[in-house]
């Protein structure tokens, strides 16, 4: 495997912790927890009525979009968030994409599944029963122009928007591995740079399950906590839903050199693995997680002793957290006591397919600012030789770090990063 | 030469091959699926895979409730291929599994009757709490798992005992070509040496809803559920299996075909006869002896189309002959590359 680095030029997201790195840093420093009453539908009567939502003010820019995109955004929250994230950085994106030939640029997007907008159908078609669903769908699902439909769209929608409104690119990949989607998008994007296929890759994703259809059906999996999300606490009982859209710009060494750039973060390696256990549950021994972590360290040519911090997947569910900690313990061995581990899902919720890019942005922000985020809701931590910072953030330099994400179906992905400023 | 294909398998309707063997072109039957009304003003014909629940590789009963038919087909096919080719530790622990899936929602999920019930309940409920309760009662707790986008990938890993690097590409027909391109990349950077690439597709109303409005004309619209896989290894000119192919080169666009001479053109991705004809016409830059598309026999095969075209190439090209393989997605985006029979 190549020991060449992939450089992280810029990372951006719109999330429940704000828009962009400055707001994210402020929220992390202030130990903001974004969970609040759900506003995108009325959650009355549900076991959990709170989630971490992106504030409506951030989406104000959607009003400036072409009518076709506004129509799509009205049905698809993932698209609304995606358009917001890239539109808000349009000038910088266009400037960077113009620095190399189109064929040397690519998008790698981690995306969630479509949700059937039953609430929209219910509100839009007054005499629904008499009207019939086929007729209702035929009426509501229309081609709005810009190669987009109002309701039912291929995953290519998000790349098509970027191509038409932001900048042309050479090729696009849509990776769809649930909660590991955008983490894998970063990993596979990096692989393309390492293989010489691209100089500049925008990797990221978007997702939201904060609609009635997805939220209620996701809740039926039994993974949503009726209380607060408490990663690594012995009393943890589930995660809290979130949403996010974001991206990171990855570049080759040649691109960085030719353009006189001075990136602060490098992606040194990644590890992918499968549990091959059960579609409904992760391997309780965390063997797949362990393989992903070992692969990431091996590719990064890092010893566990070099690690300062791991931003864990840490969903706050019974099945994830302990298995993840045990896997980390096996990988880092005697270095455990010097490695801080935390999950930030207690602050921003679980953004599903966008969890990877959200937490990548959290990690790069923390690395750039010497901040180790604490596990805010962990009062009775799982016994572990690892350092679990509790309740209060630490000011601490992070030279090398990992970020993990795992998905239903047993997909595991870990990324290894270096702070080049240290 | 970028990589070599050493095994191919496919399944469409009753066409099933675990060793890549395909009957002669002259014996392929025309598509006789009946064109039916799907939505007001829209007709379409769908073909489905003929699954056999008594098959020894049929999934466990406990898994069936969250398996889509395209995933079941992919599971049965991949297990059979593994048994035939004896893929061992090198693949299972250090290989890669790249799966394209061009439709994640099956008929049970897009069950109009249950959605009708759910929507009706939203409209008649007196208050939000009642609405949520009634709505929740109509949603199966299995729905998030049935619509899991990486369902095929994860079940294949589970049934093959695969622990390596893996991902899912979606949701159009060219997703499997993208998986192939990425597989070639993984070989180039020596991240994996054995990569199982494939795709599966569920032909149904949901797929139709995504595609139909992107077409100028839906006359003769046809799709088929299918699954196909192939094993990719590092380029090896010495490999000379019966249906083996070398991947020679990816093209950026059709214009690059100018001046190219090949023996065959294998093309696909059309949803209608008119689109199929137009796609062939777009290849005017290329000089070839014969051209083949599955459309007239099956309809659009989604993410399984690539493996089916490669199977045709593996069977009908003679040693040393070359072909261009070309697939177009619903947006008209093309992926194309050149192969040579090994």
User: DSSP assignment of A28-65, as one string?
Assistant: HHTT---EEE--SS--TTSS--EEE---GGGGGGGGGS
Tokens of A171: 């090729």
Nearest-CA distance A158 → chain B (Å):
12
Question: Which of the four pLDDT bands, split at 50, 70 and 90, describes residue B125?
Answer: confident
**Residue range A36-95, pLDDT digits in tens:** 999 999 999 999 999 999 999 999 999 999 999 999 999 999 999 999 999 999 999 999
**Positive or negative, the Cα torsion across B75, B78, B82, B83?**
positive
CB B228 within 8 A of CB B199: yes
- Taking alpha carbons only, the member of B279, B225, B223 closest to residue B42 is B223
Tokens of A339: 């490695």
CATH of region A6-114+153-419? 3.40.47.10
Work out the angle between the directed axes of helices A77-87 and A90-97 (0-180°, nearest 10): 70
The contacts of residue A275 (CB under 8 Å, 6+ apart) are: A282, A283, A287, A288, A410, A411, A412, B157, B158, B163
- Architecture per CATH, domain B3-108+142-234, reads as 3-Layer(aba) Sandwich (3.40)
Cβ separation of A177 and B168 shorter than 8 Å? yes
Q: What angle do CA A336, A339, A341 make, to 5 degrees?
A: 105
Q: Is the peptide bond before B191 cis (omega within 30 degrees of 0)?
A: no
Q: Is A183 helix (H, G, I), strand (E, B) or coil?
A: helix
Position A1 scores a pLDDT of 40
- In sequence order, the β-bridge partners of residue A15 are A18
The contacts of residue A283 (CB under 8 Å, 6+ apart) are: A275, A277, A289, A323, A410
- Taking alpha carbons only, the member of A255, A194, A266, A246 closest to residue A362 is A246
Interface test with A, best of B132, B133, B152 (most A CBs within 10 A): B132
- In sequence order, the β-bridge partners of residue A265 are A8, A419
- Architecture per CATH, domain B245-341, reads as 3-Layer(aba) Sandwich (3.40)
Q: Is A113 helix (H, G, I), strand (E, B) or coil?
A: coil
Position B111 scores a pLDDT of 63
Which is the catalytic residue, given A10, A313, A348, A361?
A313
- Taking alpha carbons only, the member of A4, A1, A11, A6 closest to residue A244 is A11
The answer to whether the B3-108+142-234 and B245-341 domains have the same CATH topology is yes
Cβ separation of B150 and A291 shorter than 8 Å? no
Tokens of A274: 């499968």
Position B170 scores a pLDDT of 92
- Taking alpha carbons only, the member of A335, A391, A399 closest to residue A363 is A399
Position A127 scores a pLDDT of 65
User: Residue B139 CA to chain centroid, in angstroms?
Assistant: 29
A244 is catalytic: no
Cβ separation of B185 and A408 shorter than 8 Å? no
Work out the angle between the directed axes of helices B128-138 and A212-219 (0-180°, nearest 10): 60
CB A236 within 8 A of CB A230: yes
> Which stretches of chain A drop beneath a pLDDT of 70?
1-3, 126-131
- Report domain extents, chain B: 3-108+142-234, 245-341
Cβ separation of A119 and B122 shorter than 8 Å? yes
Q: Does B4 touch chain A (CB under 8 A)?
A: no
Lowest-confidence region among A167-176, B205-214, B261-270: B205-214
Tokens 């993974």 locate to A223
CB contacts of B144 in chain A (<8 Å) are 214, 217-218, 220-221, 408
How is A8-28 classified by DSSP, letter by letter? EEEEEEEETTEEHHHHHHHHH
Reduce the secondary structure of B68-112 to three states and give it as a string.
CHHHHHHHHHHHHHHHHHCCCHHHHHHCEEEEEECCCCCCCCCCH
Nearest-CA distance B196 → chain A (Å):
14
Interface test with A, best of B43, B137, B141, B149 (most A CBs within 10 A): B149
- Report domain extents, chain A: 6-114+153-419
The contacts of residue A3 (CB under 8 Å, 6+ apart) are: A301
Tokens of B38: 């799907």
From residue B195, how far is each of A171, A233, A403, B10, B306 by CA, in Å? Answer: 21, 40, 26, 16, 15
Work out the mean pLDDT of chain B and round it to a whole number.
93
Average pLDDT, integer, range B176-192: 92
Task: Please determine, for residue B100, whether its predicted confidence score (pLDDT) is greater than 60.
Answer: yes
Q: Does B114 touch chain A (CB under 8 A)?
A: no
A378 is catalytic: no
Q: Does B144 touch chain A (CB under 8 A)?
A: yes
ipTM of this complex prediction, to 2 decimal places: 0.95
Position A262 scores a pLDDT of 97
CB contacts of A273 in chain B (<8 Å) are 163-166
Position A130 scores a pLDDT of 66
A350 is catalytic: yes
Terminal Cα distance for chain A, rounded = 25
Position A140 scores a pLDDT of 84
Q: Based on C-alpha coordinates, what's the Rg of chain B?
A: 20
Write phi, then psi, for B172 (nearest 5 degrees): -120, 180
Position B146 scores a pLDDT of 83
CB contacts of B154 in chain A (<8 Å) are 274, 279, 408-411
CB A270 within 8 A of CB A190: yes
CA distance A410 to A34: 28
Q: What angle do CA A348, A156, A111 make, to 5 degrees?
A: 25
């Amino acid at each position: 495997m190549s020991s060449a680095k992939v450089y992280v030029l810029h990372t951006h997201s719109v999330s429940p912790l704000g828009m962009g790195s400055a707001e994210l840093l402020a929220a992390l420093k202030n130990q903001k927890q974004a969970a609040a009453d759900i506003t995108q539908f009325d959650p009355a009567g549900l076991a959990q009525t709170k989630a971490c939502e992106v504030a409506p003010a951030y989406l104000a820019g959607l009003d400036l979009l072409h009518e076709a995109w506004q129509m799509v955004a009205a049905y698809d929250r993932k698209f609304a968030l995606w358009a917001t994230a890239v539109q808000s950085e349009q000038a910088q994106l266009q400037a960077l994409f113009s620095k190399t030939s189109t064929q040397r640029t690519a998008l790698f997007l981690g995306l969630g599944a479509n949700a059937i907008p039953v609430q929209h159908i219910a509100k839009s078609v007054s005499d629904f029963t008499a009207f019939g669903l086929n007729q209702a769908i035929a009426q509501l699902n229309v081609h709005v122009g810009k190669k987009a439909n109002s309701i039912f769209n291929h995953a290519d929608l998000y790349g098509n928007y970027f191509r038409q409104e932001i900048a042309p690119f050479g090729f696009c990949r849509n990776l769809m591995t649930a909660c590991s989607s955008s983490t894998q998008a970063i990993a596979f994007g990096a692989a393309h740079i390492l293989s010489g296929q691209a100089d500049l890759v925008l990797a990221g994703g978007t997702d939201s399950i904060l609609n009635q259809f997805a939220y209620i059906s996701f809740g039926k999996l039994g993974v949503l906590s009726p209380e607060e999300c408490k990663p690594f606490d012995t009393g943890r009982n589930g995660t809290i839903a979130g949403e996010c859209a974001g991206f990171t710009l990855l570049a080759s060494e040649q691109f960085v050199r030719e353009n006189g750039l001075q990136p602060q973060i490098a992606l040194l390696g990644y590890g992918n693995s499968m549990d091959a256990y059960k579609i409904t549950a992760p391997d309780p021994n965390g063997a797949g997680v362990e393989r992903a972590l070992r692969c990431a360290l091996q590719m990064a040519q890092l010893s566990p002793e070099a690690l300062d911090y791991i931003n864990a997947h840490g969903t706050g569910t019974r099945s994830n957290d302990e298995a993840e900690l045990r896997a980390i313990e096996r990988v880092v061995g005697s270095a455990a006591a010097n490695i801080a581990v935390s999950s930030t899902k207690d602050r921003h919720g679980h953004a599903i397919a966008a969890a990877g890019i959200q937490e990548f942005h959290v990690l790069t922000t923390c690395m750039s600012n010497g901040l180790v985020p604490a596990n805010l809701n962990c009062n009775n931590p799982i016994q572990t030789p690892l350092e679990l910072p509790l309740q209060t953030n630490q000011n601490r330099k992070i030279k090398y770090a990992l970020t993990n994400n795992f998905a239903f179906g047993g997909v595991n992905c870990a990324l290894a990063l270096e702070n080049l400023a240290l | 030469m970028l990589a070599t294909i050493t095994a191919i398998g496919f399944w469409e309707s009753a066409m099933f091959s675990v060793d890549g063997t395909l009957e002669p072109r002259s014996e392929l039957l025309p598509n006789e699926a009946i064109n039916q009304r799907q939505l007001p003003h829209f007709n379409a014909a769908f073909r489905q895979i003929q699954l056999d629940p008594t098959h020894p590789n049929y999934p466990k009963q406990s898994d069936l409730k969250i398996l889509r038919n395209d995933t079941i087909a992919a599971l049965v096919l991949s297990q059979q291929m593994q048994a035939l080719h004896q893929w061992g530790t090198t693949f299972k622990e250090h290989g890669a599994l790249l799966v394209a899936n061009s439709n994640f929602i099956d008929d049970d999920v897009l069950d109009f009757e249950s959605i009708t019930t759910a929507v009706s309940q939203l409209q008649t409920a007196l208050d939000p709490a009642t609405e949520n309760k009634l709505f929740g009662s109509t949603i199966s707790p299995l729905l998030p798992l049935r619509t899991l986008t990486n369902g095929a990938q994860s079940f294949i890993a589970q049934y093959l005992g695969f622990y390596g690097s893996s991902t899912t590409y979606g949701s159009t027909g060219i997703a499997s070509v993208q998986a192939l391109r990425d597989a070639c990349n993984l070989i180039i950077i020596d991240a994996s040496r054995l990569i199982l690439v494939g795709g599966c597709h569920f032909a149904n109303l949901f797929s139709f809803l995504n595609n139909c409005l992107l077409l100028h004309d839906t006359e003769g619209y046809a799709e088929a559920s299918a699954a196909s896989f192939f094993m990719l290894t590092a380029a090896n000119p010495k490999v000379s299996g019966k249906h083996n192919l070398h991947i020679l080169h990816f093209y950026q666009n059709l214009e690059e075909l100018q001046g190219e001479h090949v023996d065959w053109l294998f093309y696909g991705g059309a949803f209608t006869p008119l689109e199929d004809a137009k796609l062939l016409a777009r290849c005017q830059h290329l000089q070839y002896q014969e051209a083949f598309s599955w459309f007239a026999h099956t309809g659009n095969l989604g993410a399984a189309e690539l493996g089916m075209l490669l199977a045709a190439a593996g069977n009908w090209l003679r040693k040393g002959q070359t072909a261009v393989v070309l697939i177009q997605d619903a947006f008209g985006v093309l992926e194309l590359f050149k192969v040579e029979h090994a």
